[in-house]
Amino acid sequence: MSSWENDTTQAAIALPEPSATEISEPHWQACKEQKLLVQQCSNCQSYTFPPEKNCPQCFENTLAWQQSSGKGKIYSFTIVYRPQTPAFNTPYVAAIIELDEGWHMLSNIIDCDIDKLAINQAVAVCFEKRGKSVLPMFRTV
């Protein structure tokens, strides 16, 4: 038996939690309030995610937090059968979500029939508690 299948090992390893930085703290705080925030440049209007100090499009320091609709579609996905650590339950879906505002986010799709997932399928954000953190994830709609 490998350690990947050892229940004692699984119980001792917790799922990873995000580490907020000074730049990303507003995003993580909003998740605790069941809101999905994204930065938008007031100069060129482009969206930026993950959070940055300056706009990666025009390089200006004019990024401001905006609330996203949380609605979008599956841009790409993969089904993970071998976990990063024994703490992850498999299979799970890692996906790039294209939000309606035009920005992309890497997340998970949960509570779904993995055999029926498809590119361009509609999804909506939901929030899942993990330890002291709250993570934005998605469900099909």
Label residue 12 by pLDDT band (50, 70, 90): low
The domains of the chain are located at 21-67, 69-141
Q: Helices in the chain by DSSP H: which ranges?
A: 7-12, 25-32
**CATH number listed for the domain at residues 69-141:** 2.40.50.840
pLDDT band at 15 (very low <50, low <70, confident <90, very high): confident
Residue 12 main-chain phi, psi, to 5 deg: -80, -15
Determine the 3-state secondary structure of 67 from DSSP: strand
- In this predicted structure, the answer to whether residue 9 has a pLDDT above a threshold of 50 is no
What's the pLDDT tens digit per position in 65-117?
999 999 999 999 999 999 888 899 999 999 999 999 999 999 999 999 999 99
Q: Can you give the length of the chain in residues?
A: 141
Percentage of the chain exceeding pLDDT 70: 91
Say yes or no to pLDDT of 10 above 50: no
Q: 47 and 72 in contact (C-beta within 8 Å)?
A: no
What average pLDDT does the segment 43-63 reach? 97
Question: What span, in angstroms and rounded, lies between the C-alpha atoms of 73 and 41?
Answer: 23
* Strands (DSSP E) found in 8-140: 37-41, 47-48, 63-67, 71-80, 92-99, 104-109, 122-130, 133-140
